[in-house]
Every structure is written in C-alpha cells, then in structure tokens.
C-alpha cells in the first residue's frame, strides 16, 4: 500500500495538509566501558531519542502506521569528555518494502564518526527547523530528513529534494557549531559533503538511479524477474557514468555500502553475460569491494 501512497504524496501535498509521524525508528545506544551511572543516563537518552524520531512530524503528509519508514539508529559512545559531554559514532539505517513481497530493501546504511553531544539526564530534546539548538538534536533531525529524502527518491524521481533541502538548512545553521561534522574543511566525508554531493548536478544521476533501481527494478520482480533485473542493471550503468565523470564520491560510497550485498544476491542467479557485466561495473565503481562482487560469478 505504501508504494502507491508515496507515489501520490508529492502531487497531493497542496490538497492534503494532514500530518502524522513518518518514521518507525528503532534506537539503541551502546556504552562499552562506561560506568553504571552513565549507562543509566544513556538509557534515558535512548528513550528520549526514540520519542524524538518517532513522535515528531517531519513532513506535511499523513502516513498510516503500516506506511511509516522503517529505520534504525545505533549510537556507540566511545568516551565521556566532560561532565555532560560524550563522543562516539551514530550509524543510521533505513529500508523500504518491495512491492508484492515480504522483502525490505536497504536504502541507507551510513556510519557517521563525527558525533559529539551534550546531554543531561531528563533534559528535553528541543529542536526547531530554523534554529541550531544543540548538536544532538541537529544531528538527529538531519538524519531524519536524509532518511525521508532517500525514501522519497526511490518512489518519485528526485522526490526527496524538499527533505534534503531541510537537511541542507541544518548544515547551514550549524556552521558556527564547535562540534565536528558540519564544515567543508573538516574532511571530505561528513554531513557537509553528503549534502554537497546530493545537490551537486554531477551526481544527480545517483539519485535518478535510485528511482530506476527500486520502482522499475525491484518493485517489478514478481511481475517479470528478467525485465526487472535488466532495469537494475540499467541503474548500475547510470552509476557507472557518474563514477567515470567524478570517481570516488562520498554519496557513491554510501550507496555501495548500502547496496553491495543486495546486488551480489540479486545477480548470483542471472545469466552469465549479465553476471560478467555487473561484476565489471561494480568492481569499477567500488574497487575496494571487488572481491565481494566476484562472488556473483561463483557457482552455487
């Protein structure tokens, strides 16, 4: 059902102002080596983040319970660097159902290593779209919009743009924040560069490929596997062209981390010629994992 609803949401926006929560996001905080007191504080924070992600309205659309975007957040605390300040990583994952199947396709699998925040137990998690209130809520809101943006891109060509724009606004508001992850000069693989890649016209093919991959590829698997797999291959050819124009992009790296295993599984049963073509493309755009892609050609 959600496959049909999402396809109509953008066109219906002005006619249907109803709102309800979009995310069904599981939250886990891992605290290796921390004291019992700090672990209890992080348990409280875990519950607060769960409510923050799942009980807030992130879009203007109405979602039924069964249509909410399935996601997960894993925060790993590596150290406590002050009385109420923590440093660690935040891994964000999301998935969406494939039409007429019980399979959920991974849409985002990203580990952000620039995660530092302040938190006092039981303090409310305050956030407003037009204001940088705290690094904690800004990072959470940023990834809420990124999750929704990628989900929309898989249902409508470039459909996630309004939500990526909101994520970009958070990046802009965070330029004076002391915490890392928001600024261009802090590295080539952070939140700033993720949004730069998303809006860079040289990488627009990646987002276009997401639609082809899912809507005309995976969503048609039960109708005609050969034709659907051919459309997935067409999406990979789009990615290959983007890679040849600008190799090694951050956005491509995130996509391949998310989709690599799924592609190995999908094409392991393809005809030999198609297998060879896919292995060549994947090894070109993601050479670090070429050994994994060569498994496509292994028998059985």
Structural domain range at position 10: 2-199
Q: Domain check: are 169 and 291 in the same one?
A: no
Tell me the mean pLDDT in the region 42-48.
97
Q: Domain check: are 276 and 209 in the same one?
A: yes
Domain boundary pick from 183, 199, 215: 199
| CA-based nearest residue to 74, from 63, 60, 88, 62 | 88
Domain boundary pick from 162, 183, 199: 199
- pLDDT value of position 14: 40
Q: Domain check: are 119 and 172 in the same one?
A: yes
Q: Domain check: are 159 and 281 in the same one?
A: no
Return the sign of the alpha-carbon dihedral for residues 123, 127, 131, 135: positive
Q: Domain check: are 138 and 223 in the same one?
A: no
Q: Domain check: are 71 and 108 in the same one?
A: yes
How far is the C-alpha of 191 from the C-alpha of 114, rounded, in Å? 9
Residue 89, phi then psi, degrees to nearest 5:
-130, 160
Q: Domain check: are 48 and 101 in the same one?
A: yes
| CA-based nearest residue to 26, from 95, 79, 89, 84 | 95
C-alpha radius of gyration, the chain, whole number = 20
Tokens of 207: 């987002």
How many structural domains are present in the chain? 2
226-282 pLDDT, tens digit each = 999 999 999 999 999 999 999 999 999 999 999 999 999 999 999 999 999 999 999
174-228 pLDDT, tens digit each = 999 999 999 999 999 999 999 999 999 999 999 999 999 999 999 999 999 999 9
Domain boundary pick from 151, 172, 199: 199
Q: Domain check: are 188 and 214 in the same one?
A: no
Confidence of residue 43 (pLDDT cuts 50, 70, 90): very high
- pLDDT value of position 18: 45
| CA-based nearest residue to 215, from 153, 274, 268 | 153
Does residue 6 contact residue 151 with C-beta atoms inside 8 Å?
yes
Q: Domain check: are 75 and 216 in the same one?
A: no
Helix count and strand count (H, E) for the chain: 10, 4
Q: Domain check: are 251 and 118 in the same one?
A: no
Q: Domain check: are 75 and 119 in the same one?
A: yes
Q: Domain check: are 130 and 229 in the same one?
A: no
Q: Roughly how many angstroms between the first and final C-alpha of the chain, as a whole number?
A: 35
Confidence of residue 20 (pLDDT cuts 50, 70, 90): low
Tokens of 94: 């999301």
189 three-class SS:
coil
112-171 pLDDT, tens digit each = 999 999 999 999 999 999 999 999 999 999 999 999 999 999 999 999 999 999 999 999
How far is the C-alpha of 209 from the C-alpha of 234, rounded, in Å? 8
Query: Which pTM value belongs to this model?
Result: 0.92
């Amino acid at each position: 059902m959600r496959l049909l609803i999402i396809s109509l949401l953008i066109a219906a926006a002005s006619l249907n102002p109803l709102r309800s929560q979009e995310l069904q996001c599981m939250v886990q905080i891992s605290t290796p080596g921390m004291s019992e007191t700090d672990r209890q504080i992080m348990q409280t924070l875990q519950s607060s983040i769960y409510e923050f992600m799942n009980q807030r309205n992130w879009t203007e659309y109405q979602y039924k319970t069964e249509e909410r975007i399935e996601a997960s957040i894993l925060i790993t605390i590596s150290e406590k660097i002050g009385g109420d300040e923590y440093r660690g990583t935040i891994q964000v994952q999301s998935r969406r159902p494939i039409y007429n199947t019980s399979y959920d396709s991974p849409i985002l699998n990203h580990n952000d290593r620039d995660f530092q925040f302040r938190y006092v137990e039981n303090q409310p998690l305050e956030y407003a779209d037009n204001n940088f209130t705290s690094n904690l809520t800004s990072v959470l809101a940023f990834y809420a919009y990124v999750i929704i943006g990628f989900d929309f891109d898989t249902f409508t060509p470039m459909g996630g743009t309004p939500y990526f724009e909101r994520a970009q606004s958070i990046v802009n508001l965070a330029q004076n924040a002391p915490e890392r992850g928001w600024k261009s000069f802090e590295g080539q693989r952070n939140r700033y560069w993720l949004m730069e890649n998303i809006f860079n016209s040289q990488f627009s093919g990646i987002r276009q490929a997401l639609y082809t991959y899912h809507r005309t590829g995976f969503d048609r698997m039960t109708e005609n596997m050969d034709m659907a797999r051919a459309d997935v291959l067409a999406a990979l050819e789009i990615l290959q062209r983007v890679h040849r124009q600008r190799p090694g992009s951050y956005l491509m790296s995130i996509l391949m981390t998310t989709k690599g295993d799924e592609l190995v599984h999908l094409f392991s049963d393809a005809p030999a010629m198609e297998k060879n073509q896919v292995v060549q493309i994947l090894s070109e755009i993601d050479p670090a994992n070429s050994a994994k892609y060569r498994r496509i050609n292994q028998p059985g």
